């Protein structure tokens, strides 16, 4: 490990003009003690914000040579913005954290200390905290339980995208060219020596969460479908079970109900119900297969994960290489 290491701090920001100045001040104060042992680079990624976020970032970059930035051509999403930052970070270790102060910057020296101990990946584990809101807490707990059951990954419940990765881990991660990126799972898939640091999430200092219910469901689907074939198997099992039940119900109704009054009508009702149940299962099965198919289709198109508009790190329009090409992260200043 080099003695004078470079530490990169990657911060994705989408519509964060209000909170960014507060965040930057807190970040600079938190990493100040590290300046004796590390060269610092703070890399903001503007994820196609339509408010004044980019203007604030430009000012921060103009005022401090340690601040660099990227701006994406439109909103590509949190995971894509993080990928862009990791691609362009030059550090021997790279920390990523949200720029809304929910991930406390004060924890960064502790992450660096664990890296100095020899860990390549330092995860932060979010404590269950009332400030997160009950829906987020419950949905997160249920999702991680389902994911842990369905996949071979040792998925850490409550892991966040606030983490440190060594250069080796970042380079390894950047070789995974998945169109639908669930970075928490991808980092876990990598292996390496992993340390964990618990943290208590703060409430958002300003602005609003960009993870609407729709985005959360999409993110959860990316996690589940990228790391597990279990949904297809569950649907096959459910389809078979419903078929057997419907068949048994029809036979039972036919035998038991024929002697009763208006037998044909009652048998017809049971038959129709069974038909609907089987039809519903077929539709659900087609939907689950379709979800995998859409992901294969998007992967096959080989589009870049993001497109750059401007920045202090690369030529405008630079993109992640196509999946077929061996990946080399750009380090151009
Ligand atoms: N973010 C982003 N692109 C998006 C949505 C969010 O870069 O499309 C950033 C956002 O600015 C923040 C981080 O990702 O720094 C986490 O987003 P947010 O705070 O909205 O999510 P939550 O903490 O509510 O899950
Ligand atoms: Mg947040």
- Ligand nearest the Cα atom of residue 162: 1
pTM over 0.85: no
**Ligand 2 centroid from CA 150, angstroms:** 27
Testing ligand 1's pocket by substitution, the residue of 12, 57, 72 carrying the most ligand atoms inside 8 A of its CB is 12
> Tokens in use for 147?
């994911």
**What was the pLDDT predicted at 9?**
97
**What was the pLDDT predicted at 176?**
93
Instruction: Assess contact for 187 and 173: CB atoms under 8 A.
Output: yes
**What was the pLDDT predicted at 333?**
37
Segment-wise mean pLDDT, segments of 10 residues, the chain, 333 residues = 80 95 95 90 96 94 92 95 94 95 94 96 84 77 82 76 96 92 90 91 80 83 82 82 80 66 69 80 85 88 90 54 43 43
**What was the pLDDT predicted at 109?**
96
Please tell me the distance from the alpha carbon of residue 222 to that of residue 182, in angstroms, as a whole number.
6
**What was the pLDDT predicted at 258?**
56
Query: Which of the four CATH numbers 3.90.550.10, 3.40.50.11540, 3.40.718.10, 1.10.1660.10 does domain 5-208+303-311 have?
Result: 3.90.550.10
Nearest CA to 218 out of 294, 154, 129 is that of 294
Please tell me the distance from the alpha carbon of residue 116 to that of residue 200, in angstroms, as a whole number.
23
Question: Concatenated DSSP letters for 147-163?
Answer: HHHHSSS-PPTTEEEEE
**What was the pLDDT predicted at 314?**
54
Instruction: Assess contact for 42 and 129: CB atoms under 8 A.
Output: no
pLDDT of 22-39, one tens digit each?
Answer: 999 999 999 999 988 889
Atom of ligand 1 nearest to the CA of 81: 7
Task: Judge if the beta carbon of residue 139 lies within 6 A of ligand 1.
Answer: no
159 strand-pairing partners: 125
Q: What is the residue extent of each domain of the chain?
A: 5-208+303-311, 230-301
**What was the pLDDT predicted at 206?**
79
**What was the pLDDT predicted at 57?**
95
Write the burial class of residue 121 (CB in 10 Å: 0-12 exposed, 13-18 middle, 19+ buried).
buried
Residue bearing tokens 């980092």: 187
Instruction: Assess contact for 307 and 73: CB atoms under 8 A.
Output: yes
> Tokens in use for 329?
């992260």
- Ligand nearest the Cα atom of residue 19: 1
- The helix (H) or strand (E) run that includes residue 68 is strand 67-72
Task: Judge if the beta carbon of residue 14 lies within 6 A of ligand 1.
Answer: yes
Our CA dihedral for 39, 45, 51, 53, rounded to 10 degrees, sits at 0
Instruction: Assess contact for 10 and 86: CB atoms under 8 A.
Output: yes
Instruction: Assess contact for 33 and 44: CB atoms under 8 A.
Output: no
Q: Which residues have a Cβ under 8 Å from the Cβ of 185 and sit 6 or more positions away? A: 147, 151, 153, 155, 223, 226, 227
């Amino acid at each position: 490990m080099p003695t004078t290491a470079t530490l990169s701090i990657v911060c994705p920001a989408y519509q964060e003009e209000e909170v960014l100045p507060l965040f930057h001040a807190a970040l600079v104060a938190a990493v100040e003690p590290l300046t004796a042992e590390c060269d610092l680079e703070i890399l903001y990624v503007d994820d196609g914000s339509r408010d004044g976020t980019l203007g604030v970032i430009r000012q921060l970059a103009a005022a401090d040579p340690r601040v660099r930035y990227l701006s994406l051509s439109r909103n590509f999403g949190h995971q894509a913005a993080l990928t862009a930052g990791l691609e362009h970070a030059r550090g021997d270790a790279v920390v990523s954290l949200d720029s809304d102060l929910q991930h406390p910057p004060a924890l960064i020296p502790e992450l660096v200390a664990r890296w100095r101990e020899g860990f390549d990946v330092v995860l932060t584990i979010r404590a269950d905290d009332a400030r997160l809101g009950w829906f987020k807490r419950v949905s997160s707990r249920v999702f991680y339980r389902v994911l842990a059951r369905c996949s071979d990954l040792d998925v850490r419940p409550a892991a966040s995208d606030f983490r440190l990765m060594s250069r080796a881990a970042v380079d390894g991660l950047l070789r995974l060219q998945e169109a639908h990126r669930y970075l928490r799972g991808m980092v876990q898939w990598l292996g390496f020596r992993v340390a964990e640091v618990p943290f208590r999430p703060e409430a958002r200092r300003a602005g609003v969460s960009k993870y609407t219910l729709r985005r959360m469901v999409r993110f959860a689907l990316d996690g589940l479908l990228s790391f597990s074939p279990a949904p297809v198997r569950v649907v096959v099992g459910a389809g078979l079970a419903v078929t057997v039940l419907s068949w048994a119900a029809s036979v039972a109704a036919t035998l038991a109900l024929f002697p009763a009054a208006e037998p044909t009508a009652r048998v017809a009702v049971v038959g129709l119900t069974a038909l609907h149940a089987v039809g519903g299962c077929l539709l659900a099965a087609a939907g689950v297969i379709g979800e995998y198919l859409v992901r294969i289709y998007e992967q096959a198109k080989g589009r870049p994960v993001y497109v750059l508009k401007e920045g202090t790190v690369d030529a405008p329009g630079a993109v992640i290489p196509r999946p077929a090409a061996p990946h080399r992260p750009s380090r151009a200043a």
